[in-house]
Structure 1
Amino acid sequence: MTGHAVPVFQRVDQAGFAQPLDERVLDDVDTLFLFGLDHNVTGQMPADAEIEAVRAWLRREGTRLVIGPHHDVGATDDMEQRAMEYAHHGDLLVPRQQRFGAYALAILHALGIPVENRYALRPAVREGTRDKIVPLNAFRDVDTKGILDGVESLNFHMHLPHYALTRDDGTARVLAKQAIDLSRPHPMTLSGETEFNTLVWAPPAGDRAGDVVICDSTVFSTLFGADESLERFWKNLVS
């Protein structure tokens, strides 16, 4: 997209070697993609030094953090609800409880961004298709950075997180919602919801000159399909 090679780091690699977020990672970065695929049972949390490194980096003009704590399935002791969530997404490989993203969530909270990853929603698809996701419900008047310019839809994945705003004070703004597959009951739809927050944006605020975009990691994998709309979204993020 940019003509530059993209370095990839794992905070803890397969051999158990730790690569914390610090100036070695951040000094040469304008856009950082940070995805929370850590299982919560691993107990990964950012160190104070990592949080301060991210804060210092975001004080620099022209920076953007794209961050996505993954889904949070079965975050309840109610076994019937766990079974309902499992039947809703329909992926036999995902157990009735699978909680991800504590590290990324802690980064968001440390930055004062009131967003939480909840559930794992199966998005609605276009009539006559199995995996062609319906268009986004985009709030383009809020999108002053043009993140969704030319973007109609993202890609289909069987279990996507709802990025709930825990405080409605303008710190974080919903850029797009995604329709839920209503043919499969879910606690959210039983409470009357028909869409979930799939894309949230936190504009610069205070001494934070960079902005923060919250979306799921599956949006950046061609494994789940890619088209012109999705590729435009990728380009918008790094333009």
Structure 2
Amino acid sequence: MSASSFSPRFRAHDRLPSRAGVGLKAEHYRTILESRPDVGFFEVHAENYMGAGGPPHRYLSAIGARYSLSLHGVGLSIGADRPLDRDHLQRLKTLITRYAPAVFSEHLAWSSHDCGFLDDLLPLPYTKESLVRVANHVDEVQETLGTQMLLENPSTYLAFEASTWLHDTPDRRATHADRMGREAAWLAHACRRSRARRGRHGRGPATPRPSRPNRGPRIMNHRNVLLYYAWSRPGESGAPLPVIDDRFPALFESRRMGFPRFHEFSDPGQYDQGIAGFLDHIMKHNFTAFVELATALTGQPVTQIERVLDNGTLTPLDERVLSGVDTLIVISFDSLRTAQKAESGEVEAIRAFLAQPDHLAFVCPHHDIGDVDELAETARLPRQIAEFEHHGDKTIPPRQRFGGFARSLLADLGVPVENRFGLRPAALPDGSPAPVEAEKALDRLGILHNVEHFNLHPHLPQLERMGDAAHQLDVLARQRIDPHAPPHPFAAQHETFDALLQSRPETFAGTLLVSDTTLWSSTAGGVDSLRQLWTNVVTRPPIS
């Protein structure tokens, strides 16, 4: 049989040029769009674009309009002896529908097992059983995506005694392939081609390659993570749409401002077009990348709780909710207008939580833009215009204030912090985020180990330590303000803003950190570095 005999049912688009392509990196977005390099195509890592929107999708849409795209995934775990992740498949389908890549490819490897998702591409034995399983998975993927999937780079840094397939004669392989169908035959061809790699293993038991001594499966660190959204859904979704200040956009407004982004949510019969729809399909989705990574690394699902549900049900952040949790992240994306305040029982529960040395809590407000109540009437509008022009985000209203729950919680814990302004962070000439200025000597948990930068969300807060907090919290990291941005009163006197605070060892037995909410979001660039931070948080070693 020739290689052409192994063509699957689905055909890829015939649009990938017969020229060399390059991998697309976030730091090259602007350079690509400005200089239009003469390359054949760009390879895009699918898992980097599974958020609902934001700058990554804006840039990819612009690049995809000029170049062919090759979409490459690493998370399907095609060779695993367990069902495929249907949610992940649907996210891939959304990406393929959105960008219509010329080809879609994945690795012939496995990454998932009963214990969860492993941070590696692991080899599988070349047996008839493996071939049948992989062929079935390929068939399921192609049926779901409606396009051909290319398998590349069979993971072979371990060899198996059980790998009988590579040692079969051509006639036996052909017989197996005939019985298993065209997908299996196509895979058999891929396996046969990988036979050339056998020379690096020999015929003995599995042996790691010396060049990859540290790339074995990551040992699960069974952290229990709680992501607590401190908003009131009826308080947020009930904001009057004619008033543009102090509210989230409605889903239809985001579709209008971001078209063609979010077009997948255009059916009003299927998607709530109001603010509630924005919370569900855009805002919460922005945290999906963190939730999935944390789940994979810990082997346990991340618990997600909204403070007040649509029906008015309040779930306080009390000892019942915190039971069994060792890693708490409070997303204080609550509008000040809704008056979310930490109750006394919640404050005591957090104090008890932080009395445990092994416990870590991130309290995360967002920006506070357009606070002009203390200014003279004539100075208010000019000040709001200056802040608006500084951050440059046309989707943000003149006044948008978040973080009431975080402010009240921190104040009652004795470490008051105010999230002030919405400052534009600096970028490098290539468009990637500028490095953070970290106090590495203070990083006792290694949270910033190998973390080079945060993100480029265009309106980030100065985390201002108030009163005694200046003696209870250290500044662990600062971000530079964009020197090319239009002037801002704060930027006139400061080159950086305080972006990450950490409690001193004597403040709590555990560790309290304060950051912006978008430190846990994948929509404003810097994702590779943020993933390192997320990994550091959820895989930190236990403290007794």
Cα displacement (A) at 1:70: 1.0
Q: Which residue of 1 aligns with 2:390?
A: 88
Cα displacement (A) at 1:84: 0.6
Q: Which residue of 2 aligns with 1:175?
A: 476
Q: Give 3-state SS (helix, strand or coil) of 1:141's partner.
A: helix
Q: Give 3-state SS (helix, strand or coil) of 1:9's partner.
A: strand
In the aligned structure 2, how far is the partner of 1:32 from the partner of 1:201?
A: 14
In the aligned structure 2, how far is the partner of 1:11 from the partner of 1:59?
A: 23
Q: Which residue of 2 aligns with 1:185?
A: 487
Deviation sequence 1:14-51 (CA, Å, 0-9, x none) = 33221111122101100100011110011111111111
The residue correspondences of 1:35-54 to structure 2 (distance < 5 A) are 35-54=331-350
Instruction: Give the letter aligned to residue 337 of structure 2.
Output: V
Instruction: Give the letter aligned to residue 221 of structure 1.
Output: S
1:115 is aligned to 2:417? yes
CA contact 2:501–2:515 (8 Å) conserved in 1: yes
CA contact 1:126–1:134 (8 Å) conserved in 2: yes
Query: Residue 3 and residue 213 in structure 1: after superposition, are their counterparts in 2 closer, same or farther (change >3 A)?
Result: same
1:202 is aligned to 2:503? yes
Q: Which residue of 2 aligns with 1:141?
A: 441
Q: Which residue of 1 aligns with 2:56?
A: none
Q: Which residue of 2 aligns with 1:29?
A: 325
In the aligned structure 1, how far is the partner of 2:482 from the partner of 2:311?
A: 39
Q: Give 3-state SS (helix, strand or coil) of 2:491's partner.
A: helix
CA contact 2:433–2:526 (8 Å) conserved in 1: no
Deviation sequence 1:81-135 (CA, Å, 0-9, x none) = 1111111111111111111001111111111113211001111111142xx2111
CA contact 1:114–1:171 (8 Å) conserved in 2: no
Query: Residue 221 and residue 169 in structure 1: after superposition, are their counterparts in 2 closer, same or farther (change >3 A)?
Result: closer
Deviation sequence 1:137-195 (CA, Å, 0-9, x none) = 111122222221111111210111110122465310001111111222111112x2111
Deviation sequence 1:173-231 (CA, Å, 0-9, x none) = 001111111222111112x211101111113435x311101111111112223543221
Q: Give 3-state SS (helix, strand or coil) of 2:490's partner.
A: helix
Q: Which residue of 2 aligns with 1:222?
A: 522
Instruction: Give the letter aligned to residue 471 of structure 2.
Output: G
The structure with higher relative contact order (CA 8 Å, sep 6+) is 1
In the aligned structure 2, how far is the partner of 1:15 from the partner of 1:204?
A: 41
1:237 is aligned to 2:534? no
TM-score of the aligned structures, taking structure 2 as reference length: 0.42
Query: Residue 189 and residue 13 in structure 1: after superposition, are their counterparts in 2 closer, same or farther (change >3 A)?
Result: same
In the aligned structure 1, how far is the partner of 2:527 from the partner of 2:340?
A: 34
* Stretches of structure 1 lacking an aligned partner (at least 5 in a row): none
CA contact 1:133–1:155 (8 Å) conserved in 2: yes
In the aligned structure 2, how far is the partner of 1:179 from the partner of 1:169?
A: 20
Cα displacement (A) at 1:66: 0.6
* Stretches of structure 2 lacking an aligned partner (at least 5 in a row): 1-296, 374-379
In the aligned structure 1, how far is the partner of 2:389 from the partner of 2:459?
A: 11
CA contact 2:360–2:510 (8 Å) conserved in 1: yes
1:125 is aligned to 2:427? yes
Q: Give 3-state SS (helix, strand or coil) of 2:306's partner.
A: coil
In the aligned structure 1, how far is the partner of 2:478 from the partner of 2:434?
A: 11
CA contact 1:114–1:172 (8 Å) conserved in 2: no
In the aligned structure 2, how far is the partner of 1:174 from the partner of 1:126?
A: 23
Q: Which structure is higher in helix share?
A: 2
Q: Which residue of 2 aligns with 1:97?
A: 399
TM-score of the aligned structures, taking structure 1 as reference length: 0.93
Instruction: Give the letter aligned to residue 179 of structure 1.
Output: R
CA contact 1:27–1:57 (8 Å) conserved in 2: no
CA contact 1:120–1:161 (8 Å) conserved in 2: yes
Instruction: Give the letter aligned to residue 200 of structure 1.
Output: L
2:311 counterpart (15, 27, 31): 15
Q: Which moved more, 1:83-92 or 1:217-226?
A: 217-226
Q: Which moved more, 1:158-167 or 1:33-42?
A: 158-167
Q: Give 3-state SS (helix, strand or coil) of 1:234's partner.
A: helix
Q: Which residue of 1 aligns with 2:351?
A: 55
In the aligned structure 2, how far is the partner of 1:156 from the partner of 1:60?
A: 34
